[in-house]
A and B are shown apart, each in its own frame.
Chain A
Amino acid sequence: MPDAYLDHAATTPMRPEALAAMVPVLQDGFGNPSGAHRWAREARRMLDDARDVVAAAVGAEPSEVVFTSGGTEADNLAVAGVTEATGRRPLCSAVEHHAVLRAIEAVGGTTVPVHPDGSLDLDALRAQLHEAPVGLVSVMLANNETGIVADLDAVGAVLAEVTPGAVLHTDAVAAAPWLDLPDRCRPAALVTLSGHKVGGPKGIGALVVRAGTPLVARQVGGGQERERRSGTPDVAGAVGFAAALAVTVAERGATVRRVESLRDRLVAGLRATVPGLVVVSPDDPAARTAGTALVAVPGLSREALVFLLDQGGVAASWGSSCASGATEPSHVLGAMGVAPEAAEGSLRLSLGWCTTAEEVDHALAVIPAAVAQLRAAAA
């Protein structure tokens, strides 16, 4: 039976270039990069080569790249690290990933509402900035559930106007496969990236901390990563991450064009075959990433739908999940004011760098049939 892996926003297969780059590190580059001998220097060189690549991909200096265990750690470091350094409360958009949302809640921060189109309510932001001193504002570049892209320039302009001292953090994890990061992330003093969302390995990510940004380390010890993140770095992970990011950047234009057309075909096909389908992600390609389509079938259970898709060889997701693997109501759709009945029937289909036309065709055969089966059962 053919398969269709349409959950690239959860994680995407490793790029062959990443795997190839990691093997020699795992085999021979075992030195501890903090040491003072040949083996250490070799590991250090690999780590710093990787750092150069990541820095270039984001438009930052190598000294500004802090390798972490992944996106969640980077988000936590940004939020808690700046909050501790400034003593001021943080804000974030209401549609952030839980890695930001929970970190903001943990230090007493609050959320800023979004409009029904998912964009940040800049008037509400302005009002909250006026209320009390704010140290950090976190707004994700592209949303992991909907693919909706934020206008960081507009957010940065409000910050500059009201609270010039506040820094902007952006979680660019979901954006990295698709958007020109140096251009889009320019207003942000802090940028979060994750290795496995761009075809690198899991367990590696980075926080870009632009020079002069107030930040107190969360994980202390040997002082690695310029005292910003202690612990022996994952050299092989960093090398794989960098190799994946490099090929992602090099092929981005072609990948975006190819995936955009596959996504169009998928969404058009679903619109034609699933009566009542709601497409939550905007149609305008400039307003969202090329790979993600959040759709909803009002009245259906997304849990049942994802189950049937799995049985049919289609990997999809409902966007967010709890540790037990059960569905939870989406805070993103809730914040956008999507009706609960539609949100309950939501389905995230996310394409990636290796998605094929055959996969889209298979999904277009399985999804309408699954919807029809569930509707027949409910009738």
Chain B
Amino acid sequence: MRVLVMMSGGVDSSVAAALLRDQGHDVVGVTLKLWGGESDSGCCSVSDVDDARRVADRLGIDHHTFNFADEFTTHVVGPYAADHAAGRTPNPCIECNRHLKFDAVDERARALGFDAVATGHHARIVERPDGTFRVARGADRAKDQSYVLHVLDQERLARTILPIGHLTKDEVRSLAAGLDLRTATKPDSQDVCFITRREGRGTFLGDRIPLTPGRVVDTAGATVGSVAAVELVTIGQRKGLGLPGGTAPRYVVDVDRTTSTVTVGGPSDLLVAEQPVDRLAWADGPVDGPVEVQTSAHGSTAAATVRTAPADPGRAVVVWQEPHRRVAPGQSVVLYQGDEVVGGATATD
């Protein structure tokens, strides 16, 4: 097959490219230029492009750079800022996967005559007896990235290869070392790739959306602290709330944007019986029975059922088996059965 492998300049995609080559595929590497601004790492900096190019040289495969900076700004950075302004806590990596890696790049790959696209995500794609596909957890549960790939639909899954999903991170690094790849010991990328550590989220968002100071109150309504920007506060947050120390931990349990009020409470105040969601998409049809639900990139799962309303199939309510911490609006809610992703949605208020 002709395979276009997305090489970020990290160790995972380096090994993904090597494995595809060794399997006899006709492999071309591509690095995406996604962000024109400053970046510590991620998919955007010149030094990461250099790493990807040098790995491709080492593997003897062609390497190209695609500039999708406009699409990235439109589909990832813009919505990231707008979501914060609207009181949501977005997952930009998921939007990047949805709109860039498995949409714009896949479209380009088709046009260029490639049979498949590949990435270095720690996840697997399994084919079920009925011929449909599902995203499944990678072999390394601690590095598993199936959560951020839940947006892949059947059409995308049929054209996607995840070559390192069956490997642990240690195995990936040792394969890279064995191939003498320069990325073998490169640290994993962290955080949001388009925001630098030096600049920080507050400055980044402050340049793009108005930030509103807010009052912090307890569940009885008494003012206990203040925040510089309610747009930066997320459900479940503990720090940066201007609270006096020495008391039991208190968490953000609610953010009211209309009055710029942040409510804090104890861990039990965060617990809810149900979680409303929208943008619900099933991998291959609705699941009536119990599912395990993951609400953050590397979190654990909790048992629940999904109650859908026939009138609006995009909206649903996740009914927790045991009371569960409220999920910040905007966060992805991913539904599993065993290791397999059966659906995904976005938390709402």
Instruction: Using CB atoms and an 8 Å cutoff, list the residues of chain A in contact with chain B.
Output: 301, 303-304, 307-308, 310-311, 322-328, 373-374, 377-378
Query: Which A residue's beta carbon lies closest to that of B31?
Result: A324
B40-67, CB < 8 A from A = 46, 49, 53, 62, 64-67
- Interface contact A374-B49, CB-CB below 8 Å: no
4 nearest CB pairs, A to B: A377-B111, A326-B67, A326-B33, A325-B65
What would 5 A/B residue contacts be, using CB atoms closer than 8 Å?
A: A301-B108, A307-B112, A324-B33, A325-B65, A326-B69
The interface residues of chain B lying within 8 Å CB-to-CB of A303 are 66-67
Q: Give the chain A neighbours of B64 by CB distance below 8 A.
A: 307, 310, 325
Known: A303-B66, A303-B67, A307-B64. A325 touches B49 (CB 8 A): yes
B239 beta carbon closer than 8 Å to chain A:
no
- Rounded to whole angstroms, the CA-CA distance of A308 and B109 in the bound complex is 11
CB-contact partner of B67 in A323, A328, A373, A377, under 8 A = A328
Contact code string B299-336 (vs A, CB < 8 Å = 1, else 0): 00000000000000000000000000000000000000
Q: How far is the CB of A340 from chain B (nearest CB, A)?
A: 11
Which of A311, A324, A377 has a CB less than 8 Å from the CB of B110? A377
Which residues on the A side are within 8 Å of B67 (C-beta)?
303, 326-328
Residue B221 is within 8 A (CB to CB) of chain A in the complex = no
Binary per-residue interface labels of chain B (28-40) against chain A in the complex, 1 for a CB within 8 Å, 0 otherwise? 0001010000000
Residues of chain B within 8 A of A374, CB atoms compared: 111
Question: Out of A311, A323, A326, A378, which one reaches B66, CB within 8 Å?
Answer: A326
Q: Mark B11-43, 1 if CB is under 8 A from A, else 0.
A: 000000000000000000001010000000000
Task: Tell me which of A307, A324, A373 has the highest count of chain B C-beta atoms within 10 A of its own C-beta.
Answer: A324
Q: Tell me if B65 and A378 are in contact (CB < 8 A).
A: no
Mark B105-138 against chain A: 1 for CB-CB distance below 8 A, else 0: 0011011110000000000000000000000000
Contacts of B66 in A (CB 8 A): 303, 326
Partner of A324, one of B62, B65, B112: B65
Chain A residues whose C-beta falls within 8 Å of the C-beta of B62 in the assembled complex: 310
Chain B positions within 8 Å of A378 at CB level: 111
Q: Is the CB of B111 within 8 A of A324?
A: no
List the A side residues contacting B33 at CB < 8 Å: 322, 324, 326
C-alpha spacing A303/B64, complex, angstroms: 10
Whole-angstrom distance between the Cβ of B256 and the nearest chain A Cβ: 43
Interface centre among B31, B62, B67 (most CB of A within 10 A): B67
Among candidates B31, B46, B108, residue contacting A323 with C-beta atoms closer than 8 Å: B46
Closest to A375 in B: B111
- In chain B, positions 66-110 with a C-beta closer than 8 Å to chain A are 66-67, 69, 107-108, 110
Smallest CB gap from B4: residue in A: A307
> CB-defined interface of B195-228 with A at 8 Å, one 1/0 digit per residue?
0000000000000000000000000000000000
Not counting A308-B113, A323-B46, A325-B65, a sample of 14 additional A-B residue pairs whose C-beta atoms are within 8 angstroms of each other reads A301-B108, A303-B67, A304-B108, A308-B112, A311-B112, A324-B65, A325-B53, A326-B33, A326-B69, A327-B67, A373-B111, A373-B113, A374-B111, A377-B110
Q: Name the residue of chain B whose CB is nearest to the CB of A306.
A: B64
Report whether A326 and B65 are in contact in the complex, using a CB–CB cutoff of 8 Å.
yes
**A324-B33, A326-B33 known; A304 and B112 CB under 8 Å?**
yes
| Bound-complex Cα distance A323 to B110 (A) | 27
Contact partner of B46 (CB less than 8 A), chosen from A304, A310, A324, is: A324
Q: Which A residue sits closest to B111, measured CB to CB?
A: A377
CB distance from A339 to the nearest CB of B (A): 16
Whole-angstrom CA separation of A325 from B63 in the bound complex: 10
* Cα–Cα distance between A301 and B189 once the two chains are bound (Å): 30
